[in-house]
Structures are given as structure tokens and as C-alpha cells.
Structure 1
Amino acid sequence: MIKTENLQKVFRTDEVETWALNNITLEIKEGEFVAIMGPSGCGKSTLLNIVGLLDSPTGGKYFLNGTDVSNYKESQCTKLRKGVIGFVFQSFNLIDELNVFENIELPLLYMGFPSSERKVKVRQAMDRMQISHREKHFPQQLSGGQQQRVAIARAVVANPKLILADEPTGNLDSRNGKEVMDLLTELNNDGTSIVMVTHSQHDAEYASRIVNLFDGQLVSQVKL
């Protein structure tokens, strides 16, 4: 599903050249749950952003579902992301002015689904995340755990094949964090591929493989 060959990302200023990713070669198969770990600044989020087509590599190759997308333009990346990739962030990234139903519905609106189909899909996603009773509530009326459930529902509402999660439990207490990791595990057991950036060794142990980065380089992989 995901394959990188000597992937590079270099940030340059007038005086400094920083290698965020230095020749990363990695393959993630469909249905895997992979955790990416390493110290702050090691390139974890940079790698996730490139995998999610939110950023472009400076060098090397990136293949998504067998297609070389290394040099895709922004419009091509946007089109490919729709319906293929779902995102879950540490900060939830919900829109305060929209209620639960409307936040979850957003990806379907962008993809042009008709109203009747949007309603069905949103209700299915809410049922799956056990937040149907909150559909009229706004983000500020929800706990952190409930907000992350809404964010996950939004990520899965279009049935993407791949979920990218960046520190999904970073703003949660241990109980809510466990619930979120259990939800991600259920999605993976149903066939969704998951790539997760995390600092938490406990969270990483939910994955089937841990990829360790250090100073922009892939230093080890551990199969669980």
C-alpha cells in the first residue's frame, strides 16, 4: 500500500540546511497497523505528512497503492486524498461552529455525496463510535475523549483504506486514551490500514510493527 525509496525531506534557509528525512526506505502493506516512534524532531510527523500527501519529498520516491506520487501537484494530492486517507490529530481539529453531525459530514460534503447518502454514512459513523446521542452537541460541550471519537468518526465516514494518526491520545487521560486505541484497533481488525505517530510505548504496543526514527533516519523496525 505504502512504499518509500530513499525518501528525503530537506528544509533550507539562507544559512542552514536541515535534513528532516534522510533516505527513508519503508514498506507498509495493506491491513497493517504501524507505529512510528522516535524523539522529538526525528522526522516522525514529517514522514506522516508526506505519506498523507500533505507535504512533498525533496528527493526519493513515494508510492501509494502502486502509483508514484512523489511529484504530484497539490491539486492531484488533494484529489487522491479524498476517500483514500483519513486523518486523526492530537488536537482533534474540530470546527467549533459545527455540531458533531456537521463535523463528521464535512469530508462527504467535499467529496460531493448527495444529502441522503451523507446522512446514512454520518449516522453509521456515529453509531460505530458510540456518539449518536451527541450529534447536536458542539465541540466545546464534549469531553476530550468524545471529541477524539468525533474526529475518528470524521476520519472513517468515507470508508478510507488508510488512517493516519498523529499522537491520537496526546491530549487525553489514560482511560480515554485506551478507549481511542481500542477504537483504532477495531478499525484495523476490520481491514483499515493505520499508520500512527506516537511518543507512547504503551500506545505503540497496539500496533503490529514499530518503526523507530532517529535524526531523520530509520534506525530499526520491531514486529510485535
Structure 2
Amino acid sequence: MIKITNLHKIFSTEEVETTALNGIDMDIKDGEFVAIMGPSGCGKSTLLNILGLLDNPSEGSYEFYGTEVAKMSERQRAQIRKGNIGFVFQSFNLIDELTVYENVELPLLYLKTPPSERKEKVEAALTRMNMMHRRNHFPQQLSGGQQQRTAIARAVVANPKTILADEPTGNLDSKNGEEVMNLLRQLNDAGTTILMVTHSPYDAGFAHRIVNLFDGKIVTENIHI
């Protein structure tokens, strides 16, 4: 389970101090699908970065599957991220010089997975995302929907406990966006915990719970299945 308590994040410069998160409390159960919504500047992406162990809070507690991570160094956070968290971004974040297969393989290379096991896992992830027929193509040869399916395959290839998605349909048309959301829901139905930042009420409708932020605070939560 993921548990955050009284979480604060303050960004400071010589001239100004900005509070991005102001006392966030959340419990996220294994296998839950949570959508985080709110206006621009409300703290959504800051919260997702902390949940994804890309940043530390200024104050508060963050327990990630039994480990307190709020004050860890970047190196310690990186070790926990490996194999435990997959990321899906609005901009896909694929490496142009690598093929679809090579992009999906990257997390396994970081984990030093043996070659035979890498091949099995990459092919399984690509098959799951209906991208095996594009495995030797480069990102610029793909449609937006195919790029995002490749990014999701990369996110799931190491079988992480949690996937963090930041506006996963933001660069897609409605047809491809719906396909991506159906894929995320299928992953969630299979047991993967998903935390998603979105501006889209339609996308948020795929989640079990919608958390609304305003000025760095949770203002409402809506629960539905």
C-alpha cells in the first residue's frame, strides 16, 4: 500500500517561496486506480513526481509498500523505482534512436535482466499492447497511439507494482485516447495499481477514485467502480 501523511512541498528561490502541496493525506490500496484532477498549478504533477519517487517532499511522511521514502537520496529512490514503478507520459518519452523493441527493453537493461528473460518479457509486453508487428520500427514511424502503446509496454515490461500516468491521452485524438485508457484499465483489472494525473473527466471515469486538488490541498474525493 502507498500512504502519504501531511505531505508538503515548498519551492524556494531567493525572492519567493511557493507552496505546491499543503498537507496532503492519501492511502492508496494495492490494485486501486486513482485519478488526480484539478486546475493548472494546483499541485497535481508535483504530487505525482513525489509519488513516483522523482522528488522528495519538504515535510511529511511517504510510505511506499512498507518503506519510508520521504527523506531518501536520489540514488536510494532510484533503486526503489527500478522494477517497482512504471511511467507513462503525455509526450511518450521514447528515444528516437532506438527501435520499439529497444525502447521497451530499456527497463530490463537497467535491472540487468538476463538476455533470454529480456527477450521473453519484451515480446510478451509488445504482444499485450499489439505492437509486435512494429517491433523493428522507430518512434517517428509510428502514429501517436502506437507511440503511447509502446510507452505503456515499456512501463509494464518489468511487471511493476505501480504505474504512474501523467496526462496519458493528452497528445492523442479521441479514438486513440479511448484505446489507451482501455489498456490502462485492463492492466488495473489484472492487479496493477495506477495513479493518473488528468484534465479529462472522461479519462478520470476509468478510475475507482477521483481526487480533486486545489491550491495544493485535496478538496474532494469521489469514489466509484
TM-score, shorter chain, exceeding 0.5:
yes
Alignment partner, residue 30 of structure 1: 30
Alignment partner, residue 222 of structure 2: 222
Alignment partner, residue 137 of structure 1: 137
Alignment partner, residue 203 of structure 1: 203
Alignment partner, residue 127 of structure 2: 127
Cα distance between partner residues in 2 of 1:198 and 1:40:
11
| Secondary structure of 1:9 counterpart | strand
Q: Percent identity?
A: 68
Q: What amino acid maps onto 1:165 in structure 2?
A: A
Cα distance between partner residues in 2 of 1:15 and 1:157:
44
Structure 1 segment 1-224 matched on structure 2, within 5 A: 1-224=1-224
Q: Deviations for 1:22-66, whole angstroms, at most 9, x for unmatched residues?
A: 010111000000000000000000000000000010001111002
| Secondary structure of 2:152 counterpart | helix
| Secondary structure of 1:213 counterpart | strand
Q: CA deviation at 1:223?
A: 0.2
Cα distance between partner residues in 1 of 2:211 and 2:66:
21
Q: What amino acid maps onto 1:57 in structure 2?
A: P
Cα distance between partner residues in 1 of 2:13 and 2:78:
27
Cα distance between partner residues in 1 of 2:182 and 2:99:
25
Q: What amino acid maps onto 1:157 in structure 2?
A: V
Q: CA deviation at 1:76?
A: 0.7
| Secondary structure of 1:70 counterpart | coil
Q: Moved runs in structure 1, 4+ residues, more than 6 A?
A: none
Cα distance between partner residues in 2 of 1:22 and 1:52:
18
Cα distance between partner residues in 2 of 1:22 and 1:67:
22
Q: What amino acid maps onto 1:96 in structure 2?
A: D
Q: What amino acid maps onto 1:56 in structure 2?
A: N
Cα distance between partner residues in 2 of 1:220 and 1:60:
20
Q: What amino acid maps onto 1:66 in structure 2?
A: G
Cα distance between partner residues in 2 of 1:212 and 1:141:
37
Cα distance between partner residues in 2 of 1:122 and 1:16:
46
**Structure 2 unmatched runs, 5+:** none
Cα distance between partner residues in 2 of 1:31 and 1:40:
28
Q: CA deviation at 1:67?
A: 1.4
Give the paired residue count.
224
Q: CA deviation at 1:14?
A: 1.3
Q: CA deviation at 1:118?
A: 0.5
- TM-score of the pair, normalised by structure 1: 0.99
